[in-house]
Homo-oligomer: A and B are copies of this chain.
Amino acid sequence: MLQPPPAQPGQREDEIDTPALILDLDAFEANLDRMAALLAPTGAKLRAHAKTHKSPVIAHLQMARGAVGQCVQKVAEAEILAWGGIPDILVSNEVVAPAKLARLAAIGRIARVAVCADDPAAIPAIEQAAAAAGLRLTVLVEIDPGAGRCGVAPGPEAVALARRIAASPHLRFGGLQAYHGSAQHKRTHAERAALIGAAAEGARRTVEQLRQQGIDCPIVGGGGTGSFLLEAHSGVYTEIQAGSYAFMDADYARNFNADGGHVDTFRHALFVLAGVMSAPRPGIAVLDAGHKAVAVDSGMPTIWGRPELRYVSASDEHGKLEAGAETTAPKLGEKLRLIPGHCDPTVDRHDWYVGVRGGRVECLWPVAARGAMS
């Protein structure tokens, strides 16, 4: 069942039922504007990652600020965006099941869609889906930029796969997918610069080898919130796939704070509002938000505006807070904003964004692709 929204427009923030996913609209809009301003002087365009926000509403706000399209990881996410009017969608991931490819081709009638491949064995199923739907599907070759997850090696292996795609009457070669996931969370700029430098060099070499074989490479895509300025200024990457920048979670904040230079580039805009359900002993409070309300895979949430409080442990429906020795723990019924350690899976646990501004609920937006994992 879809859960009812935890608030109504016009309510005060402290009237929102907990736990709730809240979006500080001023901070959120500032983040969208900031990304557009940062990318404007580079050659790169934003293709924002909808795996973070899962919302056609947010996708449209990014498009209005110059994004050329959206990325998704799943066909089910692509469907939600296409049905919500987004005209250009890249599945930045491999899709191999024929039933999924048929669904992707079906939305190819109402949106430009593209998908990635990293294996010649995956191509016939994509061709068949395109042929059955009577259209050409755009396929990008995913290269492994050094992250050790998916992707063929840059260079000859990637070129061979691109040739296979370009030679198909049912497919169109769309370019290279070269997202370096693990680089995003390296703590220092120097570490990220080294990794993205190597990734860009592999992509540059592959583009050059494609050109020598007469194959145009319209897109080189990659770059997340941790590294996007490196890709954008590389002269190689044409599209930036950041998603978390719109929300800023606690883990990315640790990145930015480790650097100095990056601090305050983006503001924390996404929170889980949690309520104190038990205050059993001095210095301890128990919140009503645990694993099912906030993702802890990249560390525990931090507490907005209350650095003296520590969220020390999560269980399924409880979060235990400790107050420092000189601090009073929050009282029964008090509500606090948690900054999630990791925004993407946190968003995916909720059915609604509650947009707040100036202490009031301004809007409700569905997390329309919540659970869209197929």
Contact = CB atoms under 8 A, between A and B. Distances in A.
Interface string A45-61: 00000010000000000
Contacts of A73: 316-317
Interface residues of A, number: 68
A2 B3 contact: no
A316 to B, nearest CB: 5
Nearest to A142: B278
Contact of A373 (B150, B292, B345): B292
A99 interface: yes
Contact of A317 (B93, B99, B286, B291): B93
A1 interface: yes
A292 B1 contact: no
A344 interface: yes
Contact of A181 (B100, B275, B315): B315
Contact of A100 (B17, B348, B350): B17
B1 A369 contact: yes
A96 B3 contact: no
Contact of A333 (B97, B118, B277): B97
Contacts of A2: 1-2, 371
A332 B373 contact: no
A262 interface: no
Given A297-B314, A373-B293, A96 B17 contact: no
Interface string A78-120: 0010000000000001111101100000000000000000110
Given A1-B2, A344-B316, A19 B122 contact: no
A97 B332 contact: no
A219 interface: no
Nearest to A2: B2
A362 interface: no
Contacts of A317: 51, 73-74, 93, 373
B279 A119 contact: yes
A3 to B, nearest CB: 5
Contacts of A292: 344-345, 348, 371, 373
Interface string A284-325: 001011011101110000000000000000111110100000
6 contacts: A2-B371, A17-B99, A51-B317, A96-B276, A292-B371, A349-B371
Interface of A: 1-3, 6, 17-20, 51, 73-74, 76, 80, 93-97, 99-100, 118-119, 121-122, 144, 149-152, 181, 275-280, 286, 288-289, 291-293, 295-297, 314-318, 320, 332-333, 342, 344-345, 348-351, 366, 368-374
Top 4 nearest A-B pairs (CB, nearest first) are A150-B278, A73-B317, A94-B277, A291-B345
